[in-house]
Amino acid sequence: MTGGVKSGKSRRALELAAPFSPDRWFLATATPFDDEMRDRIERHKAERSPSWSTIEESIDIDVAVRERMVVDCIPMWLNNLFFSGREAEWESILGRFIARWPRDVVVVTNETGMGVIPADPLSRRYGIALGLANARLAAAADRVELMVAGIPLSIK
């Protein structure tokens, strides 16, 4: 599941995961670093029914992945790696995550590199890494949807 910011990706991911058995997992990568993020995390929690078990893992998604899981979201995970001084590890962690890819998983990511090239080197490295990560995830997935203005478009 990919798309722009606030395009409905997380809501759609929950819809896609609705058929998973009641023993469902939600892997949350966000960290509550300020009031706005704490509010956003709480809103996302409120969207999920009590049948979801939440795992909060901001870095080691390869260790936390399970069957019947929604992973939300790859850009935040990558952000966490960059800002914790672990930027160089993203490819190996993602590789291990894909190697453990369960049958029933919905992964949420963003398409951030469809516009202006960022002016600073850190933002350019981040955009390149996210684009490469998205390509690897899409190659591993059986199905890929792009959310545009709240409408899911099947692209794979």
DSSP 145: E
Strands 52-56, 69-72: pairing kind: unpaired
Report pLDDT digits (tens) over 79-89.
Answer: 999 999 999 99
Residue 4 has pLDDT above 90, yes or no: no
* CATH architecture entry for 2-154: 3-Layer(aba) Sandwich (3.40)
Residue with tokens 């023993």: 23
Give me the pLDDT at residue 37, please. 84
For the annotated catalytic residues, the residue numbers are 44
**pTM of this prediction exceeds 0.75:** yes
* Mean confidence (pLDDT) of the chain: 93
Give percent of the chain above pLDDT 70: 100
Tokens (6 digits) for 151: 């409408």
Residue 115 has pLDDT above 80, yes or no: no
Range among 4-13, 44-53, 106-115, 143-152 rated most confident: 143-152
Domain boundaries, the chain: 2-154
Give me the pLDDT at residue 56, please. 93
